[in-house]
């Protein structure tokens, strides 16, 4: 009875977490959005034009596919009937929007983002169908406001070949379609001269330069300031400076030319191959093999992943889970058959965890999310749930209740206890808690993986899981090693209670991370939820061994569990107050601030960190908090910029990707002048940092190399 009620309760909570108001039109702060269609019915067996209509307040804007110096493109996620398909956004011609010294690409006023929705021929069997859209955007003036909405329309379905009447939104939708860049047959030649990139276009119907502008479709190739456009007879020349973040040579530069002249808007799309690019055979991204600290081949990537996984066992974030597995090892080590079985199960759990996390990460990145390694801990809801889990597992080790005994008929042993299931879920949990750490060798391997096809990427992540599980697996798979372990006995009860405390400490750390992410209110609500969870497990544990628990205890357990879960929806919606951007030693990193300092030739130390990154916190304590470090910065005039990735930040994700990294920590030293940056190892020492800062301050140029990991 209680089990069924709990299932209903959890299902209802999941629904409340996912539910949102839905309508065809939603008015939000500074922006009105509406789901529109070209015709009053959808036609089966063909493509139908629909779109998101954006009506901006004056002086506010949203963003194009390449947002420019700042911002994020508008994202559309469709929920359609089976067999239907939605094409990517057919972006209309963008505007160049200047905000201070920044140049952004996007839309102001009123525009429509068109999408082709294709219906199967059999769709006409249904009288009506529902279009559902989850839209998210960033609307900006000088400040920016993120927004999202759930939109839906119910429309009739017409038979194939029909031409339903046009809607009132059809003119705006067709106007947006008319502004799409058209493909051209122009000859395009690209050349480089220092920091300048020049493209020469030849062909018929080249536009003149009146009202003409050009945009790179790929970010971080050209600077976002207006390019120089010159027409010389049958040749159109485009000159632009290279982006400050240019690190990877593309196979080709994709350009969109837009002409706004006498009230008309026209756009063209062309492509210029990069001269001598090695990227032509590598899927559009050249592999930078001359830079140490990057990975240039699959074999090296797999070796780095294996070594990185092994190194994770030495990182503090994995200790709480290793303590659980150590307990299981002692219980099974003197039974070779059980030891081998549990070793294989632990290995399978760790590999499964890494592969599942990688698959989710790759899918979200393919959908346009700027995510990297450790992305799951950027969610306050998941951080709170992990804190709950650590407290519950700690209470089990402390003897408050037993995981695996009847939990009102719910479940079997997972991460605590003995047996292959416990070993599998311990490996799975080890993967989850390992993500806040980045060990040596991991950064280059993961950076390489996220630039490769899905199969190779998953292989790298699976090897990382093998490396993490290998020491424990070897102890289980090699019975001769069992003689080094003590035999089970009464001492294990004391040992088990001692092992509970690393889990409690981990829960405290997770609540601190949550406070950094979502603020003190979220941390307080989570602590109240943890108190309710402790009370629920105390009630359950006190009556766990009864053959038939009395209904008052069942009711008390259910109510307390409900109270424990109640704060989670609120926690997931809260945000921490912004931190000060200048504390006298460091400033908050922004792409604009870094670009400004580099234009002036100033030396810069960049620290990309996160509250959930244990490696980052250890480096802060060991190498970045001393008086000597602060004195070196001040005496050498080095600017210290710190980027906080505790919650997802697309600009930081893009910066990490420019150095072929998928997660934090990342430490970059830019020298005085215009030399190439140096990437420091992921584990810092005071001497290593001081030497790098001394080089940056004293030399006007820097060797085009990076330190090995």
Contact (Cβ atoms closer than 8 angstroms) between residue 48 and residue 116: yes
Q: Specify the pLDDT at position 292.
A: 32
The DSSP line for 560-576 is HHHHHHTTHHHHHH--P
Residues comprising the chain, all counted: 709
β strands within 159-263, DSSP E: 182-183, 187-193, 196-202, 212-216, 228-232, 235-241, 252-261
Element (H, E) at 118: strand 110-118
φ and ψ of 258, to 5 deg: -125, 130
In this structure, the dihedral spanned by the alpha carbons of residues 644, 293, 619 and 318, taken in order and rounded to 10 degrees, is 90
Three-state secondary-structure class, residue 597:
helix
Give dist(CA 657, CA 71) in Å, integer: 17
The whole-number pLDDT of residue 20 equals: 34
> Parallel, antiparallel, or unpaired: how do β-strands 264-273 and 182-183 relate?
parallel
10-residue averages of pLDDT along the chain (709 residues) = 41 37 70 94 92 94 89 88 89 90 90 94 81 88 81 90 92 94 91 88 89 91 91 90 76 92 91 66 31 50 79 66 60 64 82 81 59 62 83 82 47 49 77 63 62 75 83 72 59 72 83 80 88 89 65 80 87 61 75 85 91 78 87 91 82 79 85 83 87 80 37
- Distance between CA 477 and CA 467 in Å, rounded? 15
The domains found in the chain, sorted by start residue, are 19-178 (2.60.40.1250), 182-281 (2.60.40), 298-573 (no CATH), 586-698 (3.40.30.10)
**Tokens standing for residue 231:** 């027409």
Residue 709: Cβ-neighbour burial (10 angstroms; 0-12, 13-18, 19+): buried
The CA distances from residue 465 to 361, 427, 428, in Å, are 15, 9, 9
CA 656 to chain centre: 11
DSSP string, 51-81: EEEEEEPTT-BEEEEEEESS----EEEEE--
| Alpha-carbon span 177 to 35, nearest angstrom | 16
Q: Which residues contact 132 (CB under 8 A, 6 or more apart)?
A: 22, 78, 79, 80, 150, 151, 152
Check residue 375 and give its pLDDT: 56
Residue 402: predicted pLDDT: 67
């Amino acid at each position: 009875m209680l089990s069924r009620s709990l299932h209903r309760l959890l299902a209802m909570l999941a629904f409340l977490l996912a539910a949102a108001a839905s309508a065809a039109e939603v008015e939000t702060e500074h922006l009105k959005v509406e789901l529109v269609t070209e015709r009053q019915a959808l036609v089966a067996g063909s493509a139908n034009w629909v779109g998101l209509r954006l009506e901006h307040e004056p002086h506010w804007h949203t963003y194009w596919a390449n947002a420019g110096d700042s911002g994020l493109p508008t994202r559309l996620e469709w929920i359609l009937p089976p067999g239907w398909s939605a094409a990517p956004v057919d972006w209309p011609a963008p505007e160049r929007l200047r905000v201070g010294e920044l140049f952004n690409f996007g839309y102001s006023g009123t525009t429509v983002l068109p999408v082709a929705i294709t219906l199967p021929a059999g769709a006409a069997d249904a009288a009506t169908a529902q279009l559902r859209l989850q839209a998210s955007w960033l609307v900006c003036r000088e400040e920016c406001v993120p927004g999202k909405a759930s939109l839906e329309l119910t429309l009739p379905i017409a038979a194939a070949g029909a031409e339903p009447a046009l809607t009132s939104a059809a003119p705006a939708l067709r106007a947006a379609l008319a502004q799409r860049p058209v493909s051209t047959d122009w000859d395009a030649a690209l050349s480089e001269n220092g920091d300048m990139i020049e493209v020469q276009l030849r062909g018929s119907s080249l536009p003149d330069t009146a009202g003409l502008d050009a945009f790179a479709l790929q970010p971080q190739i050209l600077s976002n300031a207006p390019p120089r456009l010159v027409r010389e007879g049958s040749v159109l020349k485009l000159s632009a400076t290279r982006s400050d973040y240019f690190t990877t040579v593309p196979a080709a530069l994709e350009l969109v030319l837009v002409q706004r002249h006498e009230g008309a808007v026209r756009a063209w799309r062309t492509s210029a191959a990069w001269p001598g690019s090695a990227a032509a055979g590598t899927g559009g991204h050249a592999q930078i093999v001359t830079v140490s600290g990057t990975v240039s081949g699959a074999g090296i990537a797999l070796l780095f992943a294996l070594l990185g996984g092994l190194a994770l066992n030495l990182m503090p974030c994995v200790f709480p889970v290793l303590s659980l597995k150590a307990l299981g090892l002692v219980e099974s080590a003197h039974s070779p058959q059980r030891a081998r079985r549990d070793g294989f199960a632990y290995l399978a759990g760790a590999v499964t965890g890494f592969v599942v996390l990688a698959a989710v990460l790759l899918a979200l990145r393919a959908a346009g999310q700027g995510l990297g390694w450790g992305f799951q801990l950027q969610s306050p809801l998941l951080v709170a749930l992990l804190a709950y889990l650590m407290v519950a597992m700690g209470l089990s080790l402390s003897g408050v209740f037993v995981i695996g005994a009847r939990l009102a008929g719910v479940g079997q042993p997972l991460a605590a206890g003995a047996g292959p299931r416990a070993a599998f879920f311990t490996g799975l949990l080890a993967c989850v808690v390992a993500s806040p750490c980045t060990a040596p060798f991991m950064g280059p391997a993961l950076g390489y993986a996220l630039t490769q096809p899905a199969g190779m990427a998953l292989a790298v992540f699976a090897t990382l899981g093998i490396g993490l599980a290998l020491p424990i697996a070897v102890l289980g798979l090699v019975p001769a090693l069992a003689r080094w372990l003590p035999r089970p006995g009464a001492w294990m009860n004391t040992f088990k209670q001692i092992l509970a405390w690393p889990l409690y400490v981990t829960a405290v750390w997770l609540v601190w991370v949550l406070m950094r992410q979502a603020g003190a209110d979220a941390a307080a609500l989570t602590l109240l939820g943890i108190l309710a969870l402790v009370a629920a497990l105390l009630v359950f544990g006190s009556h766990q061994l009864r053959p038939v628990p009395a209904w008052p205890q069942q009711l008390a357990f259910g109510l307390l569990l409900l109270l424990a879960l109640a704060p989670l929806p609120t926690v997931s919606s809260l945000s921490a107050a912004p931190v000060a951007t200048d504390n006298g030693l460091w400033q908050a990193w922004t792409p604009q601030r870094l670009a400004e300092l580099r234009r002036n030739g100033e030396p810069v130390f960049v620290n990309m960190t996160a509250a959930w990154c244990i490696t980052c916190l250890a480096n802060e304590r060991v190498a970045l908090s001393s008086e000597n470090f602060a004195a070196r910065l001040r005496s050498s005039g080095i600017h210290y910029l710190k980027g906080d990735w505790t919650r997802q930040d697309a600009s930081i994700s893009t910066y990490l990707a420019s150095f072929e990294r998928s997660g934090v920590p990342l430490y970059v030293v830019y020298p005085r002048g215009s030399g190439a940056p140096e990437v420091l190892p992921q584990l810092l020492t005071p001497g290593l940092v001081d030497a790098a800062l001394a080089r940056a301050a004293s030399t006007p140029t820097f060797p085009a190399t990076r330190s090995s990991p």
